[in-house]
């Protein structure tokens, strides 16, 4: 059989991103956000596999060019500025094309082999710290028994106790010269911390942004601690009992202190409707945070889980997609310090150590080199690693740990029953 002459080069643009799995292939324009999805029984799927393995350039014959399926594929990639063909009359040698590859100099593998370099740079990987001064909240709500594992939240538990002031000093000394983006101060009721005024005086001396988490019941306590009022201090007021809220009062507090932000913890559509209505009336600065109580799966399905339309509307740069393939942007660089001094990369994982007998730099190194939180990506877990959207979807979140399922999306056949 006579070998067909390849008269054309089929190429993809360097900003095109390919994700090819067993059953589907995605080609994504990282500049415009346009996406094309092809099943594995299509000619397009086979072409994309070849392009992926040949630096985005393959030869095409005259007969292939006349194929209707090929023409349809070519029309699509040209329409969305993803690629084209060029005659070999213009370039008989295979054109050189850049496919999107990134080289992170100080990656985990390289730093494992060169710990001296890691020790020199380790503090730069810390982005934020959340520290619990105590766990006694004195609020009649079961939400605070476990909500802190779903989102940054106040905490109430039977095992009471304040963080040792010496440990707090040790922590602040270890991070005061870092460039972390924030320091979250939480409880319990932080106003009941046994050396609260001393702690505030020390915290006011460091340049970092500080977020003090306060329950709505104790917002009046801010008046008794004027030393807290600073441009570097935000106050996150958490509210779970929507019906008990005096919304005009919230507006008044916010008008007097622009650094007050409200977080409403909701569990159902009725609470959501109330908040939407009140926001229109009072124009509050606030966040609405869903709480999974074990019985409100349908609420999460409609308001939190992603459907295919949501995913197809996501727009990321090629670098962002690469980043999500090697680390978890939600968790990376974050540490949580509980009131007993134990430190976590994520509160669903094992502790990396305790500040009673370790330095914060050593614990950052431990999480970076051997921890399971900062580098847990969808590309490494089932079923997401078999999905073409693994680097396009948001990173793994605490909700997925809570649900014990990584794919809270349209592909999830829910096994949860209300």
**pLDDT tens figures, 116-125:** 655 667 888 8
Q: Which of 347-351, 364-368, 406-410 has maximum average pLDDT? A: 347-351
Task: State residue 92's pLDDT score.
Answer: 74
User: Quick one: pLDDT at residue 91?
Assistant: 74
Residue 283 pLDDT: 84
Residues 354-379: what's their mean pLDDT?
A: 94
pLDDT at residue 154 in the model: 98
Contacts of 10 (CB under 8 A, 6+ apart): 47, 51, 57, 58, 59, 60, 74, 83, 84, 85
- Tens digits of residue pLDDT in 156-171: 987 779 999 999 999 9
The Cα 251–Cα 285 span in angstroms is: 9
Using alpha carbons, list the distances in angstroms from residue 374 to 183, 327, 366.
18, 6, 11
pLDDT of 387 strictly over 80? yes
- Mean pLDDT across 364-388: 93
> What pLDDT band is residue 418 in, cutting at 50, 70 and 90?
very low
Predicted structure pTM score: 0.91
Tell me how far apart the alpha carbons of residues 232 and 207 are, in angstroms, rounded to a whole number.
8
Report the pLDDT value the prediction gives residue 417, as an integer from 0 to 100: 35
pLDDT of residue 115: 63
pLDDT of residue 131: 98
Nearest to 95 by CA among 195, 212, 9: 9
> Is residue 30 over pLDDT 60?
yes
Looking at the chain, the whole-number percentage of residues with pLDDT higher than 90 is 77
Q: How far apart are CA 93 and CA 60, in angstroms?
A: 13
Sheet hosting strand 6-12, strand order edge to edge:
57-61, 6-12, 83-87
Instruction: Classify strands 260-266 and 233-239 as parallel, antiparallel or unpaired.
Output: parallel
Q: What is the chain's mean pLDDT, rounded?
A: 91
Q: Which range, of 54-63, 99-108, 232-241, averages the lowest pLDDT? A: 99-108
Q: Check whether 1 has a pLDDT greater than 60.
A: no
The whole-angstrom separation of Cα 288 and Cα 295 is 19
Quick one: pLDDT at residue 413? Answer: 46
What confidence tens digit (pLDDT) does each residue in 260-308 have?
999 999 999 999 999 999 988 888 889 999 999 999 999 999 999 998 8
400 - beta bridge partners?
Answer: none
Residue 412 above 70 pLDDT?
A: no
Q: What is the DSSP letter of 306?
A: B
Phi, psi dihedrals of residue 310, rounded to the nearest 5°: -60, -45
Mind listing the pLDDT tens digit for each residue in 89-121? 887 788 777 766 655 555 666 666 566 655 667
CA distances from 73 to 10, 42, 94, 155, 321 (A): 11, 10, 21, 55, 24
What average pLDDT does this structure show over 222-235? 89
Report the pLDDT averaged over residues 387-407. 95
């Amino acid at each position: 059989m006579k070998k067909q002459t390849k008269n054309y080069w089929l190429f993809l643009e360097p900003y095109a991103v390919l994700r090819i799995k067993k059953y589907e292939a995605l080609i994504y324009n990282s500049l415009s956000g346009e996406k094309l999805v092809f099943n594995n029984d299509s000619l397009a799927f086979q072409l994309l596999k070849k392009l992926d393995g040949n630096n985005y350039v393959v030869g095409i014959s005259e007969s292939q060019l006349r194929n209707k399926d090929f023409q349809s594929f070519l029309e699509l990639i040209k329409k969305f500025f993803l690629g084209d063909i060029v005659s070999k009359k213009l370039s008989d040698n295979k054109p050189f094309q850049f496919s999107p590859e990134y080289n992170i100099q100080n990656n985990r593998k390289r730093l494992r082999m060169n710990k001296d370099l890691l020790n020199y740079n380790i503090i730069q990987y810390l982005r934020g710290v959340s520290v619990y001064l105590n766990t006694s909240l004195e609020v009649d709500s079961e939400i605070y028994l476990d909500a802190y594992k779903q989102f940054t939240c106040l905490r109430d538990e039977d095992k009471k106790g304040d963080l040792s002031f010496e440990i707090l000093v040790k922590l602040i000394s270890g991070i005061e010269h870092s460039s972390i983006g924030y320091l979250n101060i939480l409880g319990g009721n932080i106003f009941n911390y046994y050396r609260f005024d001393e702690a505030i005086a020390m915290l006011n001396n460091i340049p970092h942004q500080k977020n003090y988490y306060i329950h709505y019941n104790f917002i009046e306590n801010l008046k008794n601690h004027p030393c807290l009022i600073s441009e570097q201090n935000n106050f996150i007021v958490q509210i779970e009992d929507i019906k008990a809220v005096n919304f005009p009062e919230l507006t008044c507090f916010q008008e007097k202190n622009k650094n007050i932000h409200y977080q409403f913890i909701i569990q159902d559509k009725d609470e959501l409707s109330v908040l939407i209505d009140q926001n229109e009336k009072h124009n509050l600065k606030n966040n609405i945070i869903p709480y999974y109580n074990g019985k409100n799966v349908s609420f999460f399905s409609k308001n939190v889980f992603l459907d295919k339309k949501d995913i197809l509307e996501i727009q990321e740069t090629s670098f962002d997609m690469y980043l999500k393939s090697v680390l978890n942007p939600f968790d990376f660089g974050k540490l949580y310090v509980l009131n007993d001094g134990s430190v976590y990369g994520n509160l669903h994982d094992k502790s990396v150590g305790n500040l009673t007998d370790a330095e914060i730099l050593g614990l950052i190194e431990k999480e970076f080199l051997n921890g399971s939180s900062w580098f847990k990506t969808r590309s490494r877990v089932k079923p997401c690693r078999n999905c073409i959207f693994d680097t396009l979807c948001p990173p793994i979140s605490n909700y997925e740990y809570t649900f014990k399922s990584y794919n809270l999306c349209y592909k999830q056949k829910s096994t949860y029953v209300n």
